[in-house]
Chains A and B, each alone.
Chain A
Amino acid sequence: MTGEHHDSDSATAARVKRVEAAVIAAGLTTEAELDALLEVVATKASPRNGARVVARAWVDRSFAEAVLADANAAIEELGLSMEAGPQVRLKAVANSESVHNVVVCTLCSCYPVGLLGPPPTWYKEPAYRSRVVREPRAVLAQFGTHLPPQTEIRVWDSSAETRYLVIPRRPEGSDGLDEDELAGSVTRNGLIGTGIL
């Protein structure tokens, strides 16, 4: 990590501390409440959760239909939740031979943290957020994801109350794998749509 990055990380940490002290002083939250939230993010939020949802959808057709129809209800079957309050709605979108889905939040960095863990830095960068809605194919190519020219790309700008989870296409030659092994083949970029498997 460069010194420049280090400096900006320290500046961010200092800013977070000041904001934290201010919101606690204003009575908007408590230190215990924030600690409980961080505990959930640190110990439970991981792309492994999203991978489990995808693997189940691949092996269980009725689950696949359920997760596309009402993702919040379907993931409860796996003991998962969005972990961020009742107002966060989850929508799963499935890739197919003809359609590829990719997720962004152009206004900030909305992301299904409970299912994917904390977002990668590039997801929060203006470069990704501004370009992927304008030239998604070129952006995906920079991730090493080259789609056939006829594939239709759907970009989901999640700047309101819904968070999106991409169900990638099942890798070729994965017929012999069980559900856990399939989950192991799912990458974070696959769940965001910047990768294919």
Chain B
Amino acid sequence: MRFSVGDSVRVKLDDPPYHTRVPRYVRGRRGVVTEYQGDYPLPDTVVLTKGADRTTQPLYGVCFPAEELWGTGQLTTDGPFEVSVDLWESYLEPLDARL
């Protein structure tokens, strides 16, 4: 397992021409790992191989502060919030600096 709870990560900025479970609004954004959810087949590979390759990899809950996703102006109109997104390990890269 590459990441631990509390690690800062960045979602890879990618635009793959196939099915993926990375919502566009978190691509390239920084977040913090809040949970390891277990190992699950990577949907991208499952779909690409029509179900033949169900190799698993760790799935994490990653929390993004609102200002990281939408800028600071959002908070003045909408108050404090954060968004938690469930992301597979290969969607993420380590971030040296703490978020």
Contacts and interface: CB of A to CB of B under 8 A. Distances in A.
Q: What is the size category of the interface that chain B forms with chain A?
A: 20 to 34
Contacts, number: 72
A159 interface: yes
A133 B23 CA distance: 11
A154 interface: yes
Contact of B37 (A106, A107, A162): A162
A159 B85 contact: yes
Nearest to B41: A87
Nearest to A129: B23
B4 to A, nearest CB: 18
Interface in A141-160: 147, 149-160
Interface string B37-52: 1101001000000000
Interface string B70-83: 10001001111111
A134 B70 contact: yes
A136 interface: yes
Contact of A159 (B21, B69, B70): B21
Contact of A155 (B43, B77, B79, B81): B81
B83 A160 contact: no
Q: What is the size category of the interface that chain A forms with chain B?
A: 20 to 34
Given A107-B21, A133-B69, A157 B83 contact: yes
B18 interface: no
A155 B82 contact: yes
Interface of A: 87, 89, 106-107, 133-138, 147, 149-162
Interface of B: 21, 23, 25, 37-38, 40, 43, 59, 61, 69-70, 74, 77-88
5 contacts: A136-B78, A150-B79, A153-B80, A155-B81, A158-B86
